[in-house]
Structure 1
Amino acid sequence: MTVATVSVEEAADWLQSGEAVLVDVREPDEFAAARIDGAILAPLSQMPAAWEALDLPTDRKIIVMCLRGGRSHQVCAFVGPVGPEGQPLFNLTGGIQAWHAAGLPIIEGAD
């Protein structure tokens, strides 16, 4: 199945404008070490329960991300092209590594 992707630059625009919500499928220790502001944690190791527990807005695109894009691709392939309420689903190309490499902000360390 084809998984829709989004570049870090386009994803940043969508998040800033409120068009999208970001789901991080890395593990809690990775999320605690470095994360993108506003990301919702739903670890791959806890799927599908973690996905089913999400309360995602029905009017926004869903961007799924991980470290480099592999785990988020797995989640996108599992979920399908749309979220539970028909929201379009996108894999963040290159994950948080590409986000950081593009000079986009991340939060490092604990709250």
Structure 2
Amino acid sequence: MTVREISVDDLAAASNSGEVTVIDVRNPDEYAAGHIPGAHLIPLPELGDRLAEVPTDRLVHVVCQSGGRSAQGAELLTGAGIDAVSVDGGTQGWTASGRPTTTG
């Protein structure tokens, strides 16, 4: 299965044009250190068991630190019938582009 990817710029544009769903699949300590504002934490090992928390009526953006785990998460969600994309570059790319993050 091929996972669709989008750039952090595409995610930022989508965020500016309306509500987007971002699932952060990193570990809780990584998320607490800094995450994309509005991102919902579901660590990758828990994602399969927490599918009920993921919206099925809109595109879901999956993010991790740099893009590896998010591709796995997007593949899992797509396999479950959820429209999902991996954010290439992840939170690291988001931060490097000068965009804000939230801690805690």
Shorter-chain TM-score: what band? 0.7 to 0.9
TM-score (ref. length: structure 1):
0.83
Matched, 1:106 2:104: no
Aligned residues, how many?
A: 103
Q: For residue 11 of structure 2, give the secondary structure of its aligned residue in structure 1.
A: helix
Letter in 1 for 2:70: S
Can you give the 5+ residue segments of structure 1 that lack an aligned partner in the other structure? none
Q: For residue 21 of structure 2, give the secondary structure of its aligned residue in structure 1.
A: strand
**73-82 or 26-35: which moved more?**
73-82
Deviation at 1:99, TM superposition (A): 0.6
- Cα RMSD between the aligned structures? 1.7
TM-score (ref. length: structure 2):
0.88
Deviation at 1:16, TM superposition (A): 2.2
Rounded Cα–Cα distance in structure 2 between residues aligned with 1:17 and 1:96: 20
Matched, 1:14 2:9: no
Deviation at 1:64, TM superposition (A): 0.2
Q: Deviations over 1:39-96 (max 9, x none)?
A: 011111213112x1314261x321000001101111112222751xxxx311000100
Structure number having the greater helix percentage: 2
Q: Percent identity?
A: 38
Q: For residue 12 of structure 2, give the secondary structure of its aligned residue in structure 1.
A: helix
Can you give the 5+ residue segments of structure 2 that lack an aligned partner in the other structure? none
Q: For residue 99 of structure 2, give the secondary structure of its aligned residue in structure 1.
A: coil
Rounded Cα–Cα distance in structure 1 between residues aligned with 2:97 and 2:31: 19
- Counterpart of 1:61? 59
Structure 1 runs of 4+ aligned residues shifted over 4 Å read none
Rounded Cα–Cα distance in structure 2 between residues aligned with 1:77 and 1:55: 14
- Counterpart of 2:37? 37
Conserved 8 A contact 1:27-1:45: no
- Counterpart of 1:26? 26
Deviation at 1:29, TM superposition (A): 1.0
**Structure 1 pair 61–19 and aligned structure 2 pair: CA distance change class (3 A):** farther
